[in-house]
Amino acid sequence: MNTAPNVFTPAKLGPVTLRNRIIKAATFEASTPDALVTDDLITYHRLPAAGGIGMTTVAYCAVSPGGRTDGWQLWMRPEAVPGLRRLTDAIHAEGAAISAQIGHAGPVANSRTNKAKAYAPVRFFNPLSMRFAKKATAADIDDITAAHANAARLAIESGFDAVEIHLGHNYLASAFLSPLINRRTDEFGGSLENRAKVARGLVRAVRDAVGDRIAVTAKLNMSDGVRGGISLDESLQTASWLEEDGGLDAIELTAGSSLLNPLYLFRGDAPVKEFAGAFKPPLSWGIRMTGKKFLREYPYREAYLMDQAKQFRAELKMPLILLGGITNRDTMDLAMAEGFDFVAMGRALLAEPDLINRIKDDGAVRSACTHCNKCMATIYSHTHCVVTGSPG
């Protein structure tokens, strides 16, 4: 009988060896006001690296100006490389690896602050930007695919150990996968095989660009938590195709729609008042009035995505990263016992960047994160934990 690996033992992720199986998940930092690396961004990632994680994930490295969710986010271009190199050097000095989350926000992109067109499978209204996203043509899709390959090459130049391709949360690739959003009738719409072409094409382009020089992972929605959206069965098929295509070293399993149901991923309290406070009127008024509909509450429990993720583990042979409600040693051990290769953590590391070293020293340590989700509203100003104040 196979014994489950110790979460604190080194593990291979493609060509990279991580010192343990714990990954800091991509969480917006709000630390790139000029779309370039700042000391603030370096501190944000250096603290959990010093705190014992195996790898940190930089969110979000858009592949183009119009692929950002907001105009102050970083996008991958030659001018960004010197700063990114400072960032990767700082993380490596702490003994951790570093991944760049690359992607295109599609209908989630804020075309107003980006001062660039947003793209979607069909013409689509974004209530946060109060703008329409343009229906992407085949040529637009080709351009965005090439931009992913270019972003991956720049990640290598910048010293990253891995890239995570964003195929989740109704960003561009995920919006194409969604039968609710993608109402096209051409080669990119209709059947799941057609709707999956963008996601599979992005992965293929990135893998062709990087070869085996760095690890390539993807963030994939298991379900959107929205009626008519991506279902578990369809996502399982997409994941099977991605495995067959051979472009990925691991999949990080996620859920929820940034556009329609964000708390399906986060679970816990719905911070409507704080979320409204992050915006100016009239949007803030709208959030206060309809916030409970948009920020639907789901009770928090440890490993809350485990039941869905186990269905992927049963179907796939490739490495899988379990995300969602992993805050203590017991849950990490459970993930390993269920056959997951890595665990990814977000809010708990925001609250306590040194949590991993403390858990390693004492398996009884419990996270200070209360799952209040008030950190969600800070992603528009300076991402931090409102309970502990971390990371400063």
Q: What is the pLDDT of residues 173-185, one digit of tens each?
A: 999 999 999 999 9
Q: Which helix (H) or strand (E) holds 223?
A: strand 215-223
What are the contacts of 370-374 at 24+ separation with CB within 8 A?
Answer: 370/268, 371/266, 371/267, 371/268, 371/269, 371/300, 371/347, 372/268, 372/269, 372/271, 373/263, 373/266, 373/268, 373/269, 373/270, 373/271, 373/347, 374/269, 374/271, 374/274
- What pLDDT score does 262 carry? 82
Domain regions of the chain by residue span: 11-380
Specify the 3-state DSSP secondary structure of 12. strand
| Of 226, 284, 279, 214, the residue nearest 255 (C-alpha) | 226
How many residues does this entry show for the chain? 392
- pLDDT score of 2: 66
The confidence score (pLDDT) of residue 380 equals 82
- The token pair at 333 is 């051990």
What is residue 291's predicted lDDT score, i.e. its pLDDT?
A: 66
> E strand or H helix at 104, and its extent?
none
Say whether 300 is catalytic. Answer: no
Angle at 257 between CA 252 and CA 263, to 5 degrees: 90
Distance of alpha carbon 268 from the chain centroid? 19
User: Which residues of the chain are under the pLDDT cut of 70?
Assistant: 1-2, 275, 282-283, 285, 291-293, 392
Tell me: domain 11-380, CATH 3.20.20.70, correct?
Answer: yes
Residues 51 and 244 sit within 8 Å (Cβ to Cβ): no
Q: Which of 171, 264, 300, 304 is catalytic?
A: 171
Q: What is the structure's pLDDT at 1?
A: 52
Tell me the pLDDT tens digit for each residue of 270-287. Answer: 887 876 777 777 667 677
Return all residues near 212 (Cβ < 8 A) that are at least 6 apart: 14, 15
